């Protein structure tokens, strides 16, 4: 019965001439170039592009093709054009090495552009010095996986983003290694998407950037040495799990920047050696749970207008300042964290310190007012004024305290 059905299907396909064909492209193949092969192909065909150099200007893919590079064929835009533009659904691009898109101040050229298409796959490609790497506009339900994108961005105005998504839904951006762009991964009006296991480093601006995007999550990513690790702005319901934010140093450098964000979870992330671990502005109802802040300048800096945030179960270890608050009207909870600066005691030995901890130091106010006073950090005089403020608080907000500071580092159940 089954066999009969299958047989009928094959017959049908033969009759309609719809059998998926294989087209090879190389110097000695039937097709010497990519464009003629695409022209000769039909939807559902697979193009095998063998190693070699292909300089064909802008290549348009307007039918459902699978394009596979063998031995990383180099497709070179010669710094003149965008390289591959996809306008059809179900296109896969695998194993290509796309090079030299060239900067343009007039148009956002990309190594690969997916335009108004669904179900695409961009996998294991190398993109070198592409102005924008993978540019997704009005694209849905597609994946960008395992790509390596390198550029040498010099300044923000003349550089593009490695993965740029605009008006998209249900994207998966996974296992990519992106470096040297303006933003590593940029989401604007992108909903219900996942960013995971990527490494984004040495970007001029942000490792990952959300604008007006909702219901997304990013997890297990590493953001290193960027202008700022991750910026999440004007977005709702973003889950942030188990990411590493490392070594984001500089005047406006953050591990994570939250601006006008509501209802997000920030769980089990590690913030290490950032000038500011998390900088929060106008964000409400955010849960900071089980994160580790180690050797940051400021672990968390909260600017005005933040309400109902819950910071608990986190480890604050050897940060220059654990917490700084500027502006008024900030009502947040800080109970149940471990603070390496805490010097209280635990007489009943329940693991919880018997006196509350005040994470905001007087000196952080002074530094906020007069940043140059930073040179007096850890001086005896500053220790004395911090100490006297600790004994009788005048300037530091009384309500900012951890009522249940942990005596020992909290064991954090990472999943990887």
Partner 1 sequence: MNKIFKYSFFDLIRSRWTLVYLAFYLLLTFALLTLTPDTSKVVISLMNIILLLVPLIASMFSVIYSYNSREFVELLLAQPIPRRQIFLGQYLGVASSLALSYLLGIGIPFLVFGILGSAQLGHFLTLLLVGLLLSFIFSALAFLIALKHDNKLKGFGLTILVWLFFAVIYDGLFLVAMMWFRDYPLDNFALGASLLNPIDLSRMLILLKLDIAALLGYTGAVFQQFFGSSMGILLSVGCLLLWIGVPVWRIYRISGRRDF
Q: Is 318 in the site for partner 1 (CB under 8 A)?
A: yes
214 or 320, CB closer to partner 1? 320
Burial 35-71 (b: 16+ CB within 10 A, else e): eebbeebeeebbbbbeebebebeebbbebbbbbbbee
Each residue 220-249 as x (binds partner 1 by CB under 8 A) or -, in order, gives -----------------------------x
Q: Is 402 in the site for partner 1 (CB under 8 A)?
A: no
User: Where does 304-396 have alpha helices with state H?
Assistant: 362-369, 380-391
CB 101 within 8 A of CB 130: yes
Contact segment (CB under 8 A) with partner 1 among 32-40, 75-83, 304-312, 318-326 equals 318-326
DSSP 30-93: SBSSHHHHHHH--TT-EEEEESSEE--SSEEE-S--EEEEES--EEE-TTTS--EEE-SSS-EE
8 or 377, CB closer to partner 1? 377
Residues between 288 and 317 that touch partner 1 (CB under 8 A): 295-298, 317
Crossing angle (nearest 10°) for helices 362-369 and 380-391: 120
CB 65 within 8 A of CB 91: yes
Taking the complex as a whole, how short is the minimal distance between the CB of residue 407 and partner 1, in angstroms?
13
Out of 68, 144, 171, 276, point to the residue binding partner 1 (CB under 8 A): 276
251 or 413, CB closer to partner 1? 251
Out of 16, 348, 349, 380, point to the residue binding partner 1 (CB under 8 A): 380
Out of 384, 387, 395, 414, point to the residue binding partner 1 (CB under 8 A): 384
Q: Is 355 in the site for partner 1 (CB under 8 A)?
A: no
Q: Of the candidates 298, 415, 306, which has an alpha carbon nearest to the alpha carbon of residue 359? A: 298
Q: Is 378 in the site for partner 1 (CB under 8 A)?
A: yes
Binding footprint of partner 1 on the chain (CB under 8 A): 249-253, 273-276, 295-298, 317-318, 320-321, 340, 366, 369-384
């Amino acid at each position: 019965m089954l066999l009969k059905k299958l047989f009928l299907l094959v017959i049908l396909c033969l009759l309609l001439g719809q059998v998926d064909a294989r087209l090879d492209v190389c110097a000695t193949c039937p097709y010497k170039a990519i464009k003629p092969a695409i022209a000769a192909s039909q939807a559902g065909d697979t193009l095998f592009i063998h190693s070699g150099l292909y300089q064909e200007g802008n290549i348009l893919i307007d039918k459902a093709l699978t394009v596979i590079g063998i031995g990383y064929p180099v497709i070179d835009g010669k710094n003149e054009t965008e390289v591959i533009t996809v306008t059809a659904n179900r296109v896969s691009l695998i194993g290509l090495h796309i090079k030299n898109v060239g900067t343009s101040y007039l148009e956002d050229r990309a190594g690969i552009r997916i335009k108004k298409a669904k179900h695409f796959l961009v996998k294991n490609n190398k993109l070198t010095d592409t102005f924008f790497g993978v540019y997704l506009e009005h694209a849905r339900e597609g994946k960008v996986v395992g790509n390596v994108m390198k550029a040498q961005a010099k300044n923000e105005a003349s550089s593009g983003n490695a993965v740029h998504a605009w008006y998209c839904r249900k994207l998966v951006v996974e296992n990519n290694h992106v470096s040297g762009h303006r933003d590593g991964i940029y989401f604007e009006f992108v909903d219900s998407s996942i960013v995971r296991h990527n490494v984004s480093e040495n970007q001029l601006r942000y490792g990952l950037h959300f604008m007006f995007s909702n219901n997304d999550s990013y997890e297990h990513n590493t953001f290193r040495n960027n202008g700022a690790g991750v910026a999440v702005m004007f977005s709702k319901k973003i889950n942030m799990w188990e990411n590493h934010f490392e070594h984001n140093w500089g005047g406006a450098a953050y591990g994570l920047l939250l601006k006008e964000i509501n209802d997000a979870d920030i769980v089990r992330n590690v913030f290490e050696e950032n000038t500011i671990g998390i900088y929060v502005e106008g964000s409400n109802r955010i849960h900071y749970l089980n994160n580790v802040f180690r050797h940051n300048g400021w672990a968390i800096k909260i600017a005005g207008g933040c309400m109902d945030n819950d910071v608990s179960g986190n480890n604050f270890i050897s940060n220059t300042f654990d917490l700084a608050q500027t502006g008024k009207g900030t009502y947040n909870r800080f109970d149940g964290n471990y603070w390496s600066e805490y010097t209280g005691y635990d007489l009943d030995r329940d693991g919880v310190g018997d006196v509350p901890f005040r994470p905001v130091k007087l000196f952080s106010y002074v530094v906020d007012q007069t940043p140059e006073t930073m040179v007096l950090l850890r001086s005896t005089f500053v220790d004395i004024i911090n100490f006297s403020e600790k004994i009788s608080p005048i300037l530091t907000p009384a309500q900012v305290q951890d009522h249940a500071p942990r005596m020992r580092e909290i064991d954090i159940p990472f999943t990887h």
